[in-house]
A = this chain, B = another copy of it.
């Protein structure tokens, strides 16, 4: 496995692979790799000839310094996992931005709601670093988790709009046995907060059950999800929203099409320093069953 920390060296590596007719798959990560990342890598191994995993905690996408400072780092374990998973190359740059960096990639509509509203500048940082990583690794395919649903939708749009000629592959969320979506930030959960964190997946399931039972009013589905989250007293809701799964625009009543239900919820951090950990999860709800002709 190659370990590269310079953009030019990665581009040379990619040029050589491409000249040899090999298809490159990129898995961009911020390290602290878990089974969710492993699912991305495994999918990339199935679909590409050479897998590159990038490990870079991108300061440009953190809107809060405390969150950046607390973000878990585990490079040695990450490298071991990559090696074991058959990764061809790990790109782990110490820095990706010049001191006087001043070029940003920004998206309009799709970056605005949900996490874009809660975390100013977050998606500008995501779009810029993904652009830089795609230019550095020159992949044929790139793999992103569906847990970060808005990020995935935004990257699909970015790649289409700028014409990268890269196929974006979304990979289903990996979950703990109790349903909690895997996230590097889960290390900050313990005890009662960890137990109550399953409220997110229960809220998604409750809304889906309501749709399947015929509920087609958006505000009623949001209420169902909020009620389920309300059963976790440690949960502090950031947002509970229904959106169009492609455009992320708001939806109109009555629901007719598959609809994204997206949640962001804060829980107290294990260290009990007053900080919180922010969890997100989502599900594309099926269309409500057709109304019977009466």
- Given A132-B163, A165-B135, A103 contacting B102 (CB threshold 8 A): no
Q: Looking at the complex, which one of B11, B18, B108, B161 makes contact with A165 (CB distance below 8 Å)?
A: B11
Q: Using Cβ atoms and an 8 Å threshold, which residues of chain B touch A108?
A: 102-104
Which residue, of A96, A103, A160, has the highest number of chain B Cβ atoms within 10 A?
A103
Q: Using Cβ atoms and an 8 Å threshold, which residues of chain B touch A103?
A: 105-108, 127, 157-158, 161-162
**Copies of this chain assembled into the complex:** 2
* Residues of chain A at interface, number, CB under 8 A: 36
Q: Using Cβ atoms and an 8 Å threshold, which residues of chain B touch A11?
A: 165
Q: Using Cβ atoms and an 8 Å threshold, which residues of chain B touch A109?
A: 102
Contact A104 B102 (CB under 8 A): no
- Judge if A98 is at the interface, Cβ distance under 8 Å: yes
Per-residue CB proximity of A127-142 to B under 8 Å, as 1/0? 1100110011000000
Q: Using Cβ atoms and an 8 Å threshold, which residues of chain B touch A100?
A: 247
Contact A101 B161 (CB under 8 A): yes
- Judge if A19 is at the interface, Cβ distance under 8 Å: yes
CB-CB contacts below 8 Å: A35-84 with B: none
Q: Using Cβ atoms and an 8 Å threshold, which residues of chain B touch A105?
A: 103-106, 162
- A25 CB to nearest chain B CB (Å): 17
CB-CB contacts below 8 Å: A148-189 with B: 157-158, 160-165
Q: Using Cβ atoms and an 8 Å threshold, which residues of chain B touch A106?
A: 103-106
When chains A and B are docked, how far (Å) is the Cα of A18 from the Cα of B109?
A: 36
- Judge if A117 is at the interface, Cβ distance under 8 Å: no
When chains A and B are docked, how far (Å) is the Cα of A96 from the Cα of B247?
A: 20
Q: Looking at the complex, which one of B96, B162, B247 makes contact with A131 (CB distance below 8 Å)?
A: B162
- Judge if A8 is at the interface, Cβ distance under 8 Å: yes
Q: Using Cβ atoms and an 8 Å threshold, which residues of chain B touch A15?
A: 18
Q: Using Cβ atoms and an 8 Å threshold, which residues of chain B touch A265?
A: none
Contact B132 A162 (CB under 8 A): yes
- Judge if A284 is at the interface, Cβ distance under 8 Å: no
CB-CB contacts below 8 Å: A1-50 with B: 7-8, 11, 15, 18-19, 21
When chains A and B are docked, how far (Å) is the Cα of A103 from the Cα of B124?
A: 10
Contact B161 A102 (CB under 8 A): yes
Residues of A with Cβ closer than 8 Å to B?
7-8, 11, 15, 18-19, 21, 96-98, 100-110, 127-128, 131-132, 135-136, 157-158, 160-165, 247
What are 19 inter-chain pairs, A to B, with CB distance below 8 A?
A: A7-B165, A15-B18, A19-B19, A97-B161, A98-B161, A102-B110, A102-B157, A102-B161, A103-B108, A103-B127, A103-B161, A104-B105, A104-B108, A105-B106, A128-B162, A132-B162, A132-B163, A135-B163, A136-B163
